[in-house]
C-alpha cells in the first residue's frame, strides 16, 4: 500500500536529498579553491546512495522489516554525509568563509528526521499486524 504515511515521509526525504544535490553547499577556501563540490565522488555517492536506498525502501512496501532496515542504512549514509560536511568545514581556515555555507549542510539532518518518522510509522504498522495476528 503506497498510500501510507511512511511513503510520504520517504518521498519528502528523497526530495530533500535531491534538493541537496541541486543546491549543494559549495565551500571555497581563502585562495578560492573548491574544498567541497558537487562532483566529488564521496559526496555524490553518499547522496545518490541515500536516494537509492530510500526509493528501494518505498518500492518494498510489502516487506516492512526490510523497509525498516533500508531506512536505517539510509540514516547511516546521511550521518556519514553530515560528518563529511562538518569535517570539511571545520578544517577550513578563515571564519568568514565557514559561516557562509548555506542551508545545504542542514539538509541531511532534515532528511534524517523524516527517515526516523517513517521508521516510527513502519514500526506502528508492524505492531498493528502483530496484534491482529494474536487475535486469530
pTM over 0.85: no
Condensed to tens digits (0 to 9), the pLDDT of residues 49-90 reads 999 999 999 998 888 899 999 999 999 999 999 898 888 777
Q: In this predicted structure, what is the pLDDT of residue 107?
A: 87
Condensed to tens digits (0 to 9), the pLDDT of residues 19-51 reads 888 877 666 666 666 666 767 888 889 999 999
CA 23 to chain centre: 15
Dihedral pair phi/psi, residue 28, rounded to 5°:
-115, 150
Amino acid at each position: 500500500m503506497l498510500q501510507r504515511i511512511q511513503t510520504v515521509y520517504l518521498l519528502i526525504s528523497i526530495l530533500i536529498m535531491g534538493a541537496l544535490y541541486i543546491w549543494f553547499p559549495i565551500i571555497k577556501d581563502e585562495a578560492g579553491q573548491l574544498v567541497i563540490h558537487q562532483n566529488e565522488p564521496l559526496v555524490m555517492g553518499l547522496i545518490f546512495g541515500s536516494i537509492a536506498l530510500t526509493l528501494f525502501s518505498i518500492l518494498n512496501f510489502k516487506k516492512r522489516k526490510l523497509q525498516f532496515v533500508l531506512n536505517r542504512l539510509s540514516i547511516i549514509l546521511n550521518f556519514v554525509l553530515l560528518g563529511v560536511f562538518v569535517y570539511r568545514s571545520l578544517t577550513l581556515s578563515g571564519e568568514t568563509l565557514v559561516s557562509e555555507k548555506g542551508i545545504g549542510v542542514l539538509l541531511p539532518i532534515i532528511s534524517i528526521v523524516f527517515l526516523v518518522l517513517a521508521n516510527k510509522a513502519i514500526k506502528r504498522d508492524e505492531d498493528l499486524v502483530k496484534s491482529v495476528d494474536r487475535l486469530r
